[in-house]
Amino acid sequence: MVRTYVKKVLAQIQTGNYADASKALVTAQPVLDGMARKGIITKAKAGRTMSRLNASVKALQA
């Protein structure tokens, strides 16, 4: 489930559309947090993934 949402964000980043990429990121963040809470992934991995995705989305805006 985590990989699916991350792939959706990365696909929107590849298209270069900031609005769609930011919407996909907003959808993916609670999923990553939930998986970290359940222990499926570590908190560090969730934070690192969100940080990298957020930086990529912000780079589209610039």
pLDDT tens for the chain, 62 residues long, are 899 999 999 999 999 999 999 999 999 999 999 999 999 999 999 999 999 999 999 999 87
What pLDDT, on a 0 to 100 scale, did the predictor assign at position 1? Answer: 87
Name the token pair of 27: 């959808």
pLDDT at 62: 77
1: enclosing H helix or E strand: none
Supply the range of the domain harboring residue 57. Answer: 2-61
21/28 Cα distance (integer angstroms): 10
In the numeric block, which tokens belong to residue 33? 């947090």
Strand, coil or helix: 39: coil
In angstroms, rounded to a whole number, what is the distance separating the alpha carbons of residues 57 and 10?
A: 9
- What does the pLDDT read at residue 48? 97
| Tally of structural domains, the chain | 1
Cβ–Cβ under 8 Å, residues 38 and 45: no
